[in-house]
């Protein structure tokens, strides 16, 4: 076994403690310690999220304001802030500006939020009345996201993607409910490295490690870009993209090489591999309906009125996009 050097060594030896930077792993002292908000402060202000609560993996609730992770001054100011500023500026300029952001910026921005959510859970007891049960997320579990964590080192300029891009990122226009708090929505899923955020008039959905596999079928989703989606429709679309991500039956494999002091070059091995089997399993309406009912927080018999027939709020019977005005009461919430 070759000895680990540089960034690989840093990642391999990363200590997951409250006294190490979540990104570069350096030890934190009074001089370099900062706090990174997983959901950026500007978004929390914008949508009044501070005291709202987010559901964690163990089903408990944590106020957004407490969703912070340890970070060093250098990573925070020099590396993370420029991404944050670019996304904030684009967001303030509206949907078009957001769509024009390079995929890489959105990937790092979403990737940090996704990873930060799990990272925070390293420091929370699974069962507060019984700390012996351990934390919600364990270092071993986080290690299974090795590639994603390695890719995030691109935030520090330590990674270059050579023949691929890790994520599929989708943007949709969404309608804005009257109350600020309802203009925000967040879903994540660990099975498919999936994240979905609705913020005001912009909805972003991403599969952070499908290596653009689902992006190839994006034309099927174009119809939903013609209208501004109702929050329920955006959730349905999130369920659809998440399910497609779960159906992917290949795990991308990467080869990482580093020459000299330059960034690590990451190459993806052919996804198809030696098998002629399609890379997505067949769509199963029953399974999808269960996932959709979970994501939409609606009873299964509403999402699937008849076996094999999944209901949709996205399309009219003739295949045209269905516009559901936010002002109409759907009687569903
Ligand atoms: Zn750092």
Give me the chain's average pLDDT, please. 92
Q: What is the mean pLDDT of residues 54-71?
A: 90
Q: Please list all protein residues whose beta carbon sits less than 5 angstroms from ligand 1, which is an ion.
A: 21, 23-24, 72, 75
Give pLDDT tens digits for 233-254.
999 999 999 999 999 999 999 9
Contact 293, 303 (CB under 8 A): yes
Query: Separation of 76 CA from ligand 1 center, angstroms?
Result: 7
Tell me, what's the pLDDT at 308?
83
Q: What is the mean pLDDT of residues 296-324?
A: 93
Query: Separation of 38 CA from ligand 1 center, angstroms?
Result: 15
Q: Is the pLDDT of residue 302 over 90?
A: yes
Q: Is the pLDDT of residue 330 over 80?
A: no
Query: Separation of 17 CA from ligand 1 center, angstroms?
Result: 13
Give pLDDT tens digits for 159-212.
999 999 999 999 999 999 999 999 999 999 998 999 999 999 999 999 999 999
């Amino acid at each position: 076994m070759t000895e680990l050097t540089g960034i690989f060594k840093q990642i391999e030896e990363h200590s997951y403690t409250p006294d190490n930077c979540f990104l570069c792993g350096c030890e934190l002292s009074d001089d370099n310690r900062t706090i990174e908000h997983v959901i950026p402060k500007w978004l929390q202000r914008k949508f009044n999220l501070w005291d709202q609560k987010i559901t964690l993996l163990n089903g408990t609730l944590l106020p957004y304001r407490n969703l912070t992770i340890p970070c060093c001054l250098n990573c925070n100011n020099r590396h993370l802030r420029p991404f944050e500023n670019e996304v904030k500026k684009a967001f303030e300029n509206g949907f078009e500006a957001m769509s024009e952001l390079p995929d890489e910026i959105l990937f790092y921005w979403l990737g940090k939020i996704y990873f930060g959510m799990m990272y925070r859970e390293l420091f929370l007891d699974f069962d507060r009345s019984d700390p012996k049960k351990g934390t919600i997320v364990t270092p071993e579990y986080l290690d299974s996201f090795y590639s994603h964590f390695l890719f995030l080192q691109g935030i520090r300029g330590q990674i270059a993607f050579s023949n691929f891009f890790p994520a599929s990122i989708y943007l949709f226009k969404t309608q804005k409910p009257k109350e600020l708090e309802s203009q925000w929505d967040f879903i994540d899923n660990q099975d498919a490295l999936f994240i979905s955020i609705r913020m005001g008039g912009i909805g972003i959905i991403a599969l952070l490690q499908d290596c653009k596999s689902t992006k190839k079928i994006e034309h099927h989703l174009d119809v939903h870009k013609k209208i501004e989606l109702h929050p329920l429709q955006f959730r349905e679309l999130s369920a659809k993209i998440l399910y497609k991500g779960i159906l992917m039956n290949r795990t991308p494999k990467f080869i990482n090489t580093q020459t000299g002091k330059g960034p690590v070059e990451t190459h993806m091995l052919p996804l198809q591999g030696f098998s002629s089997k399609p890379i997505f399993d067949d769509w199963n309406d029953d399974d999808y309906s269960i996932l959709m009912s979970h994501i939409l927080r609606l009873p299964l018999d509403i999402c699937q009125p008849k076996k094999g027939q999944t209901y949709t709020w996205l399309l009219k019977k003739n295949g045209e996009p269905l516009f559901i005005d936010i002002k109409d009461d759907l009687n569903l919430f």
